[in-house]
Amino acid sequence: MARRPVRQKQARGASRVGARFEAVVGPVAHGGHCIVRLDPPESRVVFVRHAIPGERVVVEITEGTEGDRFWRGDAVEVLEASGDRVEPPCPYAGPGRCGGCDFQHVALPRQRDLKTAVVREQLARLARIESDVEVEAVPGDDDGLRWRTRQRYVTLPGGGRAMRKHRSNDLVAIDDCLIESPEPSDHRALGRHFQVAADGFWQVHPGAPDVLVTTVLEMLQPQPGERCLDLYAGVGLFAAFLRDAVGESGRVVAIEGDAAASKLSARNSPGVVVQSGDVGKVLATAFDEPFDLVVLDPPREGARRAVVEQVVDRAPRAVAYVACDPAALARDVAIFAEHGYRLADIRAFDLFPMTHHVECVALLTR
């Protein structure tokens, strides 16, 4: 997949890039940064990376002009450090370096606390739901390192490799990425082998397939004879296990937008009805029948209203929503609530240690 070019904003006044301010770091925010509020005369919100809430730091502005409502910046000097601050294990992590990791300067337990705060805040702000969800560790990494079974690099002239800086096309030469796993993914879940294209999607944390399938099945409790929809089905990870659970008397339909993944889904999940095509468009024209259960595993932007309302139209007793973005999840949960579905359970997993990313599984019931 081609990398999306970095969009250049139109300048609104004089640039403040390079300006430095001393400030106390506020709460963590969605996206791998913390909020800093500058005192007058600047009176500006700055989204700051490489900081921890409560620290006193020197912030250097990396993006922003006089006319912008907010700026972006890096904590380039720590004046009063948090007790959770650690030396980043990777020499390429830090201001102006590789943009792949957000939290290498934070002790692993506090990383999960920060992610927990983000998930709860997004649910409260966007879905009006107060949750006590906690981000859980998942077996398969080495103290937050050596877990990424698929990694992309930029090839440098002469054969070297590089990663990009945060929000930039500038390159940083990389010798050894410490979150990359030394072992490639074996494409297995709960002992079952799945065929996956070399460039196809598969969870990159070794523990992810097992924990996600187990959680979805525990939440949905599929019964023999039930009818299931697996949306954004990929290569059939959830569909295969749902088919086992509902048996010959049940029905499982898997819909996936990527044609190559759909072909593999048919091989990986015998007995499942596999349909290739845009999920929203397929649901608008086909499978207009009641379903007992739905699994939603959309891309980062979420399912959105059109798909959520198509799901609701099938009147499932339960929906398991697998989300890699808590903001998109919260927005979609709010739409489900408009139609009488409540958030009955939610779990969150640290499948991307050292980064701000977090995976959630939510159960929605009527």
Rounded to whole angstroms, the maximal C-alpha distance in the chain is 70
Q: What are phi and psi of 215, to 5 degrees?
A: -65, -45
Place of tokens 């339960």: 318
| Contact by Cβ (8 Å): 317, 287 | no
Single-letter residue type at 343: L
CB atoms within 10 A of CB 62: 23
| Contact by Cβ (8 Å): 291, 252 | no
Annotated catalytic residue 177: no
Q: Which of 90, 98, 101, 324 is catalytic?
A: 324
**DSSP one-letter code for 15:** B
Place of tokens 């489900």: 336
The candidate with the shortest Cα–Cα distance to 152, out of 262, 8, 1, 39, is: 1
Cα separations in angstroms, 254 against 109, 225, 244:
37, 16, 14
The candidate with the shortest Cα–Cα distance to 217, out of 186, 185, 192, is: 192
Catalytically active residues, by annotation: 324
